Amino acid sequence: MARKPNSAEMVFLLIWHGVLSGGILVVFITSEASYAMHLFSGVVVLGAVVVRLLVGLCFPAGTPLSLGVAIPRSIADNPGSEGLDLIKNLLNSIMPLALIATIGAAALSGLMMGGEFEGEFHQGLAGISLTVIFVHVVLSVMLRALRNTKKRAM
């Protein structure tokens, strides 16, 4: 099971989330208004994805900044854990990779749009990434609410 982030890791994650989400917000706001601003924000998003990949590959599995969190196969692999913990561990392992893959693919396809990629392909990937972001936010809020409910019940 991954440990909680220390203060330096938390600062990095908060700044990274801010740059990424701010870049994505500007990308979606400027998609019809300003191509130059849309392109610049897309490059910022792609840069944030690359930075997160590089940082994630430098840290071992189980640490908050890694991308390779170990996925337990069953409750037997984690004595004393409950089903909610297993779901949380699975989501913590899969969600970062799904987010980086979909957001990175959308940003990269936009950068390469002048070549063989069509605008509809880029827009489709952007829609998929937006859906994955929405699922990430909803699951994060739900898991936090469940954890808080569980703490209050104890």
User: In a 3-state reduction of DSSP, which class is residue 106?
Assistant: helix
Residue 35 lies in a domain: yes
Domain, as residue range, for 134: 7-153
Residue 42 lies in a domain: yes
In percent, how much of the chain has pLDDT > 90?
A: 40
13-55, pLDDT tens digit by residue? 999 999 999 999 999 999 888 888 999 999 999 999 999 999 9
Residue 140 lies in a domain: yes
Calculate mean pLDDT across residues 117-129: 85
Residue 83 lies in a domain: yes
Number of domains in the chain: 1
CB 69 within 8 A of CB 99: no
Higher pLDDT, 114 or 89: 89
Residue 71 lies in a domain: yes
Residue 146 lies in a domain: yes
Residue 16 lies in a domain: yes
Q: For the chain, what is the mean pLDDT? A: 83
